[in-house]
Amino acid sequence: MTDGFVLLQAAADTTRAYGEFPLIGARAAVWIAAEVHLMFAAFVLGVPMFAVVAEAIGIFGGDARYDRLAKEFTRLLLVAYSATAIWGAVLVFFLATLYPRFWAYLTAVFGPSMWAYAALFFLESFTLYLYYYGWDRWKHARAKWAHWGLGLLLNVWGTIVMFIANSWLTYMMTPPRDITPATDPATIKLWHAIANATWMPINVHRLIANVVFGGAIVAAYASYRFLASRTDEERAHYDWMGYVGNFIAISALIVLPFAGYWLGREIYQYDQSMGITMMGGFMSWLWVIQAFLIAVLFLTGNYYLWVGMERIPGAERFRPYTKYLLLVLVLGAIVWGTPHTMIADSKELAAMGGSHHPFLGALGVMSAKNTAVNLMILTTFLSFLLYRRANTRPVVPWAKTGTQIQAAMFAIAATIVLFYGIRGYFVDAIVRIGFSVYQVLAVLSCIVFVTVIDILLGRGARSLGAIQWGRMPARSQYALFVLAVTFTWLMGLMGFARSGVRQYWHVWQVVQDTSKYAATPALGYASKMISLCVLIFLSLVAFVFWLGGLAEKSTFVAPGGREGVGGAKRVGH
């Protein structure tokens, strides 16, 4: 053991190992600060991504409403960014005072990256305020390109900041194998600690999740403004804004499960005991809850699209098909939410012949669940496709052939998913796991190729009428609220699953948690804590929405590039 580590240990021996927080305890205090901070961080990282995309569409397409949309997105960031910084400071203070020895260890390993994090956070803040307050000043052609460059830079800073922070939390879960409790943290190579087994899967997973989360929160903001609107112009603008937010959220949600599979695979490869605790131990019931929450997201997102068809001339020809799409989504949700083992008393277990129900037990295995979720993803993509085509009719000579090819691709993808889902019951577990790769590739290939064909089919398509933005019932806006609340709760749930697999370790098998909070909490307690964090976050977001309304101007660009509602053109798809 080196002299540096001896000094660190000596300093730790003279310091309290753990502090205490009044009423709720140290763990609950850190839990609340960390979760609320990460929720705000997800919002301020996701929103700039599609703000920059929206501004680019406005620049290239000359559509003023996209530029306005991007600015309105960015306005929401100002207060949210301050809240992110405040909760981050509270988190650091809690860690330093309530878990001083663990914080000392973490800073010894990641000290240089923490300095870089602080510097980049300053650069990100400066870029954000320059980006927003320079919006109207730099509105001419050449200056607008420079302004858009600031938006790109803002996203670069934010992504790097997220990557750095992700290295700290993934190191706690999957430290490199050659790092042991006796290793001097000052001698651990920084890049070696950063590039641990789950760092890149977490980066990709969180990047996609931030886009989903940002889109859901922006859609909720638009629904709030839609319900509070007093003019047709306002309702038209916020109806369109809600559509864009929902489109972004559901589009990213479609690919999010694939990133989750990658992360789960890396956890299993690193240490099977963690994977078994997460998927087959006491946490397995979390995945039943997660399945129903994600089913709510899919059902609500599709419902919003189906209701939205009411404002699109020509969509009536597709409405009869929605009942079949709903049937697939409901059946998929039932299969996905079916547990493998049942919680039952002795009489019920005797009646079933064990903890596995003779019928439902077959639906609790991953072959059934992978099949269900992939079919739900295909169904959701088909809903988007029908919505996109609702008020147009292709005029290209090969339109019928192209549509038949698209239908064949859906059929082939669904057949592959079903084949490997059924085949998985008759092979070993290690082979069954590999089948999920084929299912995923079939679905992704279908999405990519069908989208390309649809874009080509849409060239010069004949319009069946202008989209009547703003003519949406109130229930459609409540659906956007449901999306935001559900995804926020889901983020907290999955954060608990990721952190809880470490059990009584601060850093898995390296730094042990010896406090009275060392054991992973019960699911009931965890659900209450997650709900409290969600309530705190959404209350603060409601305050952000209110401030956004105070700053809003009274002039509106209708969804057609000009004032009024009737001139809407089909550019929102």
As a whole number of angstroms, the distance between CA 154 and CA 345 comes to: 56
Judged against a pLDDT cut of 50, whether residue 1 lies above it is answered with no
AA letter at 76? L
79 located within any domain: no
Mean pLDDT within 367-376 = 87
**What confidence score (pLDDT) does residue 159 get?**
92
381 located within any domain: yes
Map residue 462 onto helix, strand or coil.
Answer: strand
**What confidence score (pLDDT) does residue 548 get?**
65
Overall domain count for the chain: 1
As a whole number of angstroms, the distance between CA 40 and CA 88 comes to: 10
88 located within any domain: no
Average per-residue pLDDT in the chain?
83
Higher pLDDT, 523 or 278: 523
Going by pLDDT thresholds of 50, 70 and 90, the confidence category of residue 17 is confident
As a whole number of angstroms, the distance between CA 31 and CA 63 comes to: 44
Q: Residue 441 belongs to what domain range?
A: 313-466
Q: How far is CA 475 from the centre of its chain?
A: 24
% residues pLDDT > 70 (the chain): 89
191 located within any domain: no
As a whole number of angstroms, the distance between CA 137 and CA 477 comes to: 34
**What confidence score (pLDDT) does residue 355 get?**
67
Judged against a pLDDT cut of 50, whether residue 12 lies above it is answered with no
**CA separation (Å) from 449 to 259, 284, 409, 453?**
20, 36, 8, 6
**CA separation (Å) from 55 to 66, 139, 504?**
6, 11, 47
As a whole number of angstroms, the distance between CA 95 and CA 93 comes to: 6
Cβ atoms of 130 and 150 closer than 8 Å: yes
| Exposed/middle/buried for residue 295 (C-beta within 10 Å: 0-12, 13-18, 19+) | buried
Q: pLDDT tens for residues 28-39?
A: 999 999 999 999
3 located within any domain: no
338 located within any domain: yes
Query: Number of C-alpha atoms within 13 angstroms, CB side, residue 466?
Result: 15
Of 134-138, 172-176, 358-362, the poorest mean pLDDT is in: 358-362
In this structure, are strands 392-393 and 511-512 parallel, antiparallel, or unpaired? unpaired
Which tokens is 214 given? Answer: 């940002």
Q: pLDDT tens for residues 491-502?
A: 888 888 888 888
520 located within any domain: no
Higher pLDDT, 63 or 180: 180
Judged against a pLDDT cut of 80, whether residue 233 lies above it is answered with yes
Of 72-81, 114-123, 476-485, the poorest mean pLDDT is in: 72-81
Going by pLDDT thresholds of 50, 70 and 90, the confidence category of residue 408 is very high
Q: How big is the chain, counted in residues?
A: 573
Q: Report the 10 Å Cβ neighbour count for 434.
A: 11
Query: Number of C-alpha atoms within 13 angstroms, CB side, residue 21?
Result: 21
**Most confidently predicted of 64-73, 109-118, 424-433, 492-501:** 109-118
3-state secondary structure 506-569: EECCCEECCCCCCCCCCHHHHHHHHHHHHHHHHHHHHHHHHHHHHHCCCCCCCCCCCCCCCCCC
220 located within any domain: no
Number of H helices, E strands in the chain: 17, 4
Judged against a pLDDT cut of 70, whether residue 562 lies above it is answered with no
**Segment holding 393, helix H or strand E:** strand 392-393
End-to-end CA distance of the chain: 62
As a whole number of angstroms, the distance between CA 285 and CA 425 comes to: 22
As a whole number of angstroms, the distance between CA 250 and CA 483 comes to: 10
Judged against a pLDDT cut of 60, whether residue 142 lies above it is answered with yes
